[in-house]
Amino acid sequence: MPTLAQQHILLGISGGIAAYKAAELTRLLIKAGAEVRVCMTEGATHFVTPLTFQALSGHPVHTTLLDPEAEAGMGHIELARWADQIVIAPASANCIARLTHGFADDLLTTLCLASKAPLAIAPAMNQQMWANAATQANIATLQSRKVKLLGPASGEQACGDIGFGRMLEPEQIVQLLQADSAPLQLTGVKVILTAGPTREAIDPVRFISNRSSGKMGYALAEAAQALGAEVTLISGPVALTPPQGVQHLKVESAQQMLEATLAHMPGQDIFIATAAVADYTPAEVAEQKIKKSASELSLELKRTQDILATVTSQFPALFSVGFAAETHDLMTYARSKLERKQLQMVAANSVAGGKVFDQDTNALEVVWRDGQHSFPEMTKQALAVELMQLIAKRYQHYKDTPDAP
């Protein structure tokens, strides 16, 4: 069982009604074996008194930056160095904005700037404030800096609204922190990915292709390798450099991608199909350049073979992950793809209005047979790291419980 034993957790509490839940969180963290020091913003002290946290943690609570008495005890730089991790719960919209912009005008933001420890935040705010583009942009920035996002949950709020913005329950926060402290590795696991677009030749100089940049697939290959996996990347034509140490195969057409994928599939453990494979290819490829003549030209196209479905039918024991790009009814289509192609997971993104392709950020809804997870918009690199960790967790579960969904 993963543990928080002996971890030094600096618990930051910002101003919001959910501050009262931080008392239970302090108790549960200590029960899980952590050593907890508490830092409250001025706003937080209007909701709960520092004395509550002093009694629960057994240590004086830190509230102000320029407090000679506190600095004489454990000064703020010392406290920043002491922390193995910083957890801010609740993290208000204001606190999130200030962290994003690197403020250091109160103790909590100063500690965050002065510490090398990983930072996790549990947002708590009104649903409209959470949905606001400013907050979402701040969250994306923080996540791109590897700040861990814990929640928020959806439900009824203190103000009477219903929606996303509720702080996770203290038990859930502790569970997530415990899960994170578990060493999650893919050492010895073989991961194969397809990435990028395919090119379907019309004649020696022309082809049909799509806007896929391959960024997500390449970032996932890198993230899998960082977890210790042995990675094979089968890529259509893209303008990217493959990560060092990854076995990289270049292909052009859907047929070539199918053949290369099948040839490298024996012995693989995880297959991640991020490629935007052409669904149709010219029925015939002209041997010579087609010269213009008539005012209209029709091209006859035929269906390509579905690489992912072919792989899952030939290698049913493989842990297979598909991607879905949809303009509407994201979850419904993602779930039907899961069944139809016999996959363990589907990662779906919205391409309404042509977004996603060739962009540096993305958001994903991930579904599996008995669960789902939403990743808010963040850089494709940050998203790949988070998604790969989720894939590793689900893969572990799949190996541990072969009969489970």
Residues that bind ligand CTP (CB under 6 A): 194, 254, 273, 275, 277, 279, 304, 306-308, 322-325, 337
Minimum distance from residue 6 beta carbon to ligand CTP (Å)? 43
Q: Is 39 a catalytic residue?
A: no
Based on CB atoms, which residue is closest to ligand CTP, 207 or 323?
Answer: 323
Cα separations in angstroms, 240 against 77, 174, 356: 41, 39, 17
Number of other residues whose CB lies within 10 A of the CB of residue 87: 28
Q: What is the smallest separation between the CB atom of 270 and ligand CTP, expressed in angstroms?
A: 13
Residues contacting residue 321 through CB under 8 Å, at least 6 positions apart: 270, 271, 272, 273, 343, 344, 345, 346, 347, 391
The residues pairing with 10 across neighbouring beta strands, listed in sequence order, are: 37, 86
**120-150 as b/e: b if 16+ CB within 10 A:** bbbbbbbbebbeeeebeebbbbbbbeebbbb
Show the tokens assigned to 194: 């397809």
∠ CA 216-147-179 to the nearest 5 degrees?
90
Tell me whether residue 117 or residue 390 sits nearer to ligand CTP (CB atom).
Answer: 390
Residue 146: left (phi > 0), alpha (psi -120 to 50), or beta?
left
- Which of 39, 95, 112, 159 is the catalytic position? 159
State the nearest-atom distance from the C-beta of 343 to ligand CTP, in Å. Answer: 8
**Coil, strand or helix at 330:** helix
**Half-sphere exposure of residue 331, counting CA atoms within 13 Å on the CB side?**
7
- Is the CB of 53 or the CB of 319 nearer to ligand CTP? 319
In the complex, minimum distance from the CB of residue 157 to ligand CTP, in angstroms, rounded to a whole number:
35
CA distance 303 to 145: 42
- Residues 401 and 322: their CA atoms lie apart, in Å, by 21
Instruction: Identify which of residues 99 and 334 has a Cβ nearer to ligand CTP in the complex.
Output: 334
Least separation in angstroms between CB 228 and ligand CTP: 24
Residue closer to ligand CTP, measured from CB, 141 or 255: 255
Q: Which residues are catalytic?
A: 159
